[in-house]
Amino acid sequence: MFQIRQAKESDIRDLVDLDDECFHTYYYEKTKFSKSDFQAYLCCKKSILLVATRDSRLVAYVAGTVRTSRLRSIAHLDSIAVSSIDRRKGIGSQLLHLFIQEAKQRACLMVLLEVAKANKEGLDFFSKRGLCKIADLPEYYGRGLDGVLMGLSI
């Protein structure tokens, strides 16, 4: 059984290790999170950083930020990762759902994210959970590595 909670300082090493495991694909190599990136999420009140554990082992996370303008707040999902042995068990869906709920509690009107066009599994995951393609992002991940902007009104 999975437990989901707010991330804490003692999770950082495991978060970096999980990020390395999940984002070794060429199109995400430049966007992997570092120790200081995760520390910044922990320190910023506008951040959302949730982790999932199983048997006291960190197996997944979701990270994002709330961006507020005069007119509206938008939650930006920066990353979601599930360890390879724990995929297809519903934990990614649960984390995404809780991220959206947290965004609603913070008065956000929309969730936005980017996915590499080459990441068919990721595009399919988000599409099946109600996120829609908003725009193509040419060379978003570097030369010849296009992205897709996806969103969900909440």
Q: What structural domains and CATH numbers belong to the chain?
A: 2-109 (3.40.630.30)
CB atoms within 10 A of CB 35: 12
Q: State the burial class of residue 105 (Cβ atoms within 10 Å of its Cβ: 0-12, 13-18, 19+).
A: exposed
Q: State the burial class of residue 39 (Cβ atoms within 10 Å of its Cβ: 0-12, 13-18, 19+).
A: middle
- Strand stretches in the chain, DSSP E: 2-6, 47-54, 57-68, 73-82, 108-116, 132-137, 147-153
Please, are residues 108 and 154 in contact by the beta-carbon 8 Å criterion? yes
Supply the pLDDT for residue 74: 96
Render pLDDT for 79-107 as a digit per residue (tens, 0 to 9).
999 999 999 999 999 999 999 999 999 99
Structure tokens at 2: 């999975």
| ∠ CA 128-118-124, rounded to 5° | 5
Average predicted confidence (pLDDT) for the chain: 94
Q: What is the mean pLDDT of residues 42-53?
A: 97
Q: What is the mean pLDDT of residues 105-120?
A: 95
CB atoms within 10 A of CB 25: 11
The residues with which 82 forms a beta bridge, in sequence order, are: 60
The pTM (predicted TM-score) of the whole model is 0.92
Question: Which residues, at least 6 apart from 126, have a Cβ–Cβ distance to it below 8 Å?
Answer: 96, 113, 115, 150
Supply the pLDDT for residue 44: 95
Question: Which residues, at least 6 apart from 42, have a Cβ–Cβ distance to it below 8 Å?
Answer: 7, 8, 9, 12, 49
